[in-house]
Amino acid sequence: MRVAVFSTKPYDTRFLTEANAAAGHDLVFLEPRLSPETAPLAIGADAVCAFVNDDLSAPVLETLAHGGVRLIALRSAGFNHVDLATARRLGLTVTRVPGYSPYAVAEHCAGLILALNRKIHRAYNRVREHNFALNGLLGFDLHGRTVGVVGTGKIGVRFIRIMAGFGCRVIAADPYPSDEAVAAGASYVPLSTLLAESDIVTLHCPLTPETHHLIDEERIAQMRDGVMLINTSRGALVDTAAVIRGLKSGKIGYLGLDVYEEEADLFFEDLSDQMLRDDLFSRLVTFPNVLITGHQAFFTEEALHNIAATTIASITAFEREGSAARIAPDALVR
Nearest residue to ligand NAD, scored by beta-carbon proximity: 153
Contacts of 237 (CB under 8 A, 6+ apart): 203, 205, 207, 211, 212, 213, 214, 215, 231
**Inter-CA distances, 319 with 25, 47, 48, Å:** 10, 10, 13
Task: Sketch the per residue contact string, 2 through 41, with ligand NAD: x for CB under 6 A, - otherwise.
Answer: ----------------------------------------
Q: Which of 263, 283, 301, 334 is catalytic?
A: 263
262 catalytic per annotation: no
In the complex, minimum distance from the CB of residue 17 to ligand NAD, in angstroms, rounded to a whole number: 22
Taking CB under 6 A as the rule, does residue 233 contact ligand NAD? yes
Which lies closer to ligand NAD via its Cβ, residue 25 or residue 108?
108
Nearer to ligand NAD, 67 or 177 (CB): 177
- Contact region with ligand NAD (CB under 6 A), list: 18-26, 85-93, 231-239, 266-274: 231-239
Whether 263 is catalytic is yes
**143, 234, 261, 301: which one is catalytic?**
234
For residues 160 and 204, is the Cβ–Cβ distance under 8 A?
A: no
CA distance 126 to 305: 36
CA distances to 236, 255, 263, 265, 272 from 276, rounded to whole Å, are 19, 20, 12, 10, 9
Pick between residue 146 and residue 178 the one whose CB is nearest to ligand NAD: 178
Among positions 256-285, residues that touch ligand NAD (CB under 6 A) are 258-259
Give the nearest distance from C-beta 106 to ligand NAD in angstroms.
9
What is the Cβ-side half-sphere exposure of residue 324, based on CA atoms within 13 angstroms?
Answer: 17
Task: Select from 38, 63, 152, 240 the one that contacts ligand NAD (CB under 6 A).
Answer: 152
Judged by CB under 6 A, does residue 318 bind ligand NAD?
A: no
Please tell me whether residue 173 binds ligand NAD under the rule CB under 6 A: yes
Distances from the Cα of 70 to the Cα of 47, 64, 140, angstroms = 6, 8, 53
Nearer to ligand NAD, 69 or 292 (CB): 292
Count of Cβ atoms closer than 10 Å to residue 107 Cβ: 16
Binding-residue pattern over the window 192 to 221 for ligand NAD, x denoting contact by CB under 6 A:
------------xxxx--xx----------
Residues facing 292 on adjacent strands: 257
Among 21, 135, 176, 274, binds ligand NAD (CB under 6 A): 176
156 binds ligand NAD (CB under 6 A): yes
Is the CB of 101 or the CB of 117 nearer to ligand NAD?
101
Q: Is 153 in the site for ligand NAD (CB under 6 A)?
A: yes
From the list 297, 304, 331, 332, which residue makes contact with ligand NAD (rule: CB under 6 A)?
A: 297
Nearer Cβ to ligand NAD, position 101 or 316? 101
Of the residues 295, 301, 302, 305, only one is catalytic, namely 295
Residue 295 designated active-site? yes
Applying CB under 6 A, the residues found at the interface with ligand NAD are: 77-78, 99, 102, 105, 150-156, 173-176, 204-207, 210-211, 232-234, 258-259, 295, 297-298
Active site residues per annotation? 234, 263, 295
